């Protein structure tokens, strides 16, 4: 008899999701599925709006990663204007995007994932949350807040607003960097760097006790996809796309994001609202690829800053070829924080960073525009079509969580097979199934906090549809 365990919603991820674990007659997991209630109405909602409003509008999709949408939307707008933005504007957008990476990665690591890492996957769920960390490890919790606040301040200093800055606009940015703001950010960098290095040091001595989780948390061969610099370095804002395999072998390189439809396909499954992107030449589902911090570190030859490069060399030693365990998304996230801090410092010392020429102007010179940037969770595409007045006729957004959809599903099946034993719901096993999803840091665009207050519901349903076991927390 086949039974079904439903975990609804997954705790401590951005938005809502439900996990169903199917059990076979022996009480072992045979398959698991992640169901996502994604807000797809947004693409329809923006039809008829002027394209230049898109950065400010799309930045409101999410309170955690507004800058990612801001960047992709501004770049799609650049394409519609058909302009080359001033070099300083590009550097300033880069700095803001790094602030975004730092604050978002810090949120995931310190507030969502550290309870598992510090208190253990089998610890009391009533204590295994950020407040458990606050009580037992207040210094680490304070560090997390300082680091996240630093990223937020960078965004706020540049954009004038912390959560929904509309400073990046089609053609560049709306205002140049002042000496005062540059110096304010520079003054905050040493503390941020110190926290990043300290946390990486802690993680390296801590992850060794999670061997079973490292082995089973979405640890499988796949492709990895992301942007790289022309020198093969770590890229977070712009660049050509590279795809590598589990041996770090380059499968495709120097792909233009504007041609994404030629190499990325989107499959659909009846049981999820979220699409399943795949690498077209390998077909579905074989063309499964991962994006985000782990993927970015697996596709590059180097990071490109001194301290991050040292850590990258150690990171590469974790596995033969690519680092395949998604558990190490955490490690990759920390290295990216360090890289962002170092790179930000380099950019702030750039000789042209205070230039006042930060915006190119133009009219509607193209009726279609595609923008892409590396969001904290992975590459993000914004694809727009407009009429002659610049009004939106069509929009397609491919978000990082979508790119990772196949891998997350494969990952929860793997971890369920490893840890789910018997038809009785046990806290430790459920938490591990949830934790593998959290490792990917999915952002399901929590559309409203009022609607988001749902308890965690876990159900065991038999083939006749009866609830065999149920728990709510």
Instruction: Based on the shown chain and the rule CB under 8 A, indicate whether residue 138 belongs to the binding site for other proteins.
Output: yes
CB of 458 to other proteins, least distance (A): 13
Backbone angles phi, psi at 207, to 5 degrees: -70, -15
Buried b (16+ CB within 10 A) or exposed e, 358-379: bbbeeebeeeebbbbbbbbbbb
Comparison of 95 and 140: residue with beta carbon closer to other proteins: 140
CB of 9 to other proteins, least distance (A): 8
Instruction: Based on the shown chain and the rule CB under 8 A, indicate whether residue 50 belongs to the binding site for other proteins.
Output: no
Comparison of 83 and 163: residue with beta carbon closer to other proteins: 163
Instruction: Based on the shown chain and the rule CB under 8 A, indicate whether residue 61 belongs to the binding site for other proteins.
Output: yes
Q: Could you tell me if 32 and 151 are in contact, meaning their C-beta atoms sit under 8 angstroms apart?
A: no
Instruction: Based on the shown chain and the rule CB under 8 A, indicate whether residue 42 belongs to the binding site for other proteins.
Output: yes
Q: Residue 233 gets which letter from DSSP?
A: B
Which span (13-21, 80-88, 192-200, 329-337) binds other proteins, by CB under 8 A?
13-21
Instruction: Based on the shown chain and the rule CB under 8 A, indicate whether residue 134 belongs to the binding site for other proteins.
Output: yes
CB of 471 to other proteins, least distance (A): 14
Instruction: Based on the shown chain and the rule CB under 8 A, indicate whether residue 448 belongs to the binding site for other proteins.
Output: yes
Instruction: Based on the shown chain and the rule CB under 8 A, indicate whether residue 148 belongs to the binding site for other proteins.
Output: yes
Instruction: Based on the shown chain and the rule CB under 8 A, indicate whether residue 112 belongs to the binding site for other proteins.
Output: yes
Query: 379: which strand partners?
Result: 374
CB of 40 to other proteins, least distance (A): 10
What is the spatial distance between Cα 300 and Cα 236, in angstroms, rounded to a whole number?
A: 12
Q: Could you tell me if 253 and 242 are in contact, meaning their C-beta atoms sit under 8 angstroms apart?
A: yes
Q: In what order do the strands lie in the sheet with 3-8?
A: 29-36, 17-23, 3-8, 457-461, 467-472
CB of 225 to other proteins, least distance (A): 26
What is the spatial distance between Cα 408 and Cα 361, in angstroms, rounded to a whole number?
A: 42
Angle between helices 66-81 and 87-106 (to 10 degrees): 160
Cis ω for the linkage preceding 285 (within 30 of 0)? yes
Comparison of 131 and 271: residue with beta carbon closer to other proteins: 131
Task: Kindly tell me which residue out of 7, 8, 11, 344 binds other proteins, with binding defined by CB under 8 A.
Answer: 11
Instruction: Based on the shown chain and the rule CB under 8 A, indicate whether residue 176 belongs to the binding site for other proteins.
Output: no
Q: Could you tell me if 289 and 245 are in contact, meaning their C-beta atoms sit under 8 angstroms apart?
A: no
Q: Strand runs (DSSP E) across 47-106, as ranges?
A: none
Which span (129-137, 230-238, 337-345, 379-387) binds other proteins, by CB under 8 A?
129-137
CB of 131 to other proteins, least distance (A): 5
Query: 186: which strand partners?
Result: none
Chain centre distance of CA 3: 33
Instruction: Based on the shown chain and the rule CB under 8 A, indicate whether residue 100 belongs to the binding site for other proteins.
Output: no
**Length of the chain, in residues:** 473
Instruction: Based on the shown chain and the rule CB under 8 A, indicate whether residue 316 belongs to the binding site for other proteins.
Output: no
Backbone angles phi, psi at 46, to 5 degrees: -85, -5
Comparison of 16 and 242: residue with beta carbon closer to other proteins: 16
Instruction: Based on the shown chain and the rule CB under 8 A, indicate whether residue 473 belongs to the binding site for other proteins.
Output: yes
Q: How many residues bind other proteins, per CB under 8 A?
A: 47
Degrees to nearest 5, angle at CA 220 with 218 and 221: 140
Instruction: Based on the shown chain and the rule CB under 8 A, indicate whether residue 149 belongs to the binding site for other proteins.
Output: yes
CB of 117 to other proteins, least distance (A): 16
Tokens (6 digits) for 56 = 């400010």
CB of 473 to other proteins, least distance (A): 8
Instruction: Based on the shown chain and the rule CB under 8 A, indicate whether residue 330 belongs to the binding site for other proteins.
Output: no
Instruction: Based on the shown chain and the rule CB under 8 A, indicate whether residue 60 belongs to the binding site for other proteins.
Output: yes
Neighbours of 197 (CB within 10 A): 16
What is the spatial distance between Cα 96 and Cα 291, in angstroms, rounded to a whole number?
A: 21
Interacting residues toward other proteins by CB under 8 A: 9, 11-15, 39, 41-42, 45, 57, 60-64, 66, 107, 110-112, 129-131, 134-135, 138, 141-142, 144-145, 148-149, 152, 162-164, 446-453, 456, 473
């Amino acid at each position: 008899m086949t039974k079904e365990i439903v975990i609804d919603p997954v705790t401590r991820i951005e938005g809502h999701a439900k996990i169903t674990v199917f059990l076979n007659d022996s009480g072992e997991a045979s398959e698991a599925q992640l169901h996502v209630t994604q807000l797809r109405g947004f693409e329809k909602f923006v039809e008829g709006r002027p394209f230049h409003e898109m950065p400010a509008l799309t930045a409101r999709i999410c309170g955690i990663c507004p800058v990612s949408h801001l960047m992709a939307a501004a770049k799609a707008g650049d394409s519609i204007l058909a302009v080359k933005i001033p070099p300083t504007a590009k550097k300033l957008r880069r700095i803001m995007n790094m602030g975004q990476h730092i604050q978002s990665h810090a949120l995931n690591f310190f507030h969502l994932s550290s309870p598992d890492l510090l208190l253990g996957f089998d610890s009391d769920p009533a204590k295994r949350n950020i407040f458990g960390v606050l009580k037992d490890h207040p210094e680490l919790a304070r560090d997390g807040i300082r680091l996240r606040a630093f990223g937020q301040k960078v965004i706020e200093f540049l954009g004038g607003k912390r959560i929904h800055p509309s400073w990046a606009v089609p053609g560049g940015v709306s205002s140049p960097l002042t000496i005062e703001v540059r110096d304010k950010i520079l003054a905050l960098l040493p503390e941020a760097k110190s926290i990043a290095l300290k946390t990486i040091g802690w993680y390296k001595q801590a992850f060794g006790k999670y061997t079973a989780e490292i082995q089973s948390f979405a640890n499988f061969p796949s492709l990895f996809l992301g942007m790289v610099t022309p020198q093969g370095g770590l890229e977070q804002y712009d660049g050509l796309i590279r795809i590598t395999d589990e041996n770090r072998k380059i499968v495709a390189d120097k792909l233009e994001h504007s041609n994404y439809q030629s190499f990325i396909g989107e499959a659909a499954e009846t049981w999820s609202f979220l699409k399943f992107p795949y690498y077209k030449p390998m077909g579905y589902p074989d063309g499964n690829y991962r994006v985000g911090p782990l993927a970015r570190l697996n596709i590059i030859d180097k990071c490109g800053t001194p301290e991050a490069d040292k850590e990258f060399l150690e990171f590469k030693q974790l596995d033969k070829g690519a680092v395949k365990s998604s558990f190490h998304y955490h490690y990759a996230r920390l290295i990216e924080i360090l890289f962002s801090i170092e790179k930000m410092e380099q950019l702030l010392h750039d000789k042209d960073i205070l230039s006042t020429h930060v915006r190119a102007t133009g009219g509607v010179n193209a009726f279609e525009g595609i923008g892409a940037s590396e969001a904290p969770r992975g590459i993000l595409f914004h694809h727009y079509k407009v009429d002659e007045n610049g009004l939106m006729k069509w929009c397609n957004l491919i978000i990082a969580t979508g790119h990772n959809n196949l891998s997350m599903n494969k990952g929860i099946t793997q971890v369920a097979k490893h840890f789910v034993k018997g038809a009785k719901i046990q806290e430790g096993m459920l938490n591990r199934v949830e934790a593998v999803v959290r490792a990917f840091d999915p952002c399901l665009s929590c559309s409203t906090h009022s609607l988001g207050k749902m308890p965690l519901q876990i159900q065991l349903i038999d083939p006749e549809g009866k609830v065999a076991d149920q728990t709510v927390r």
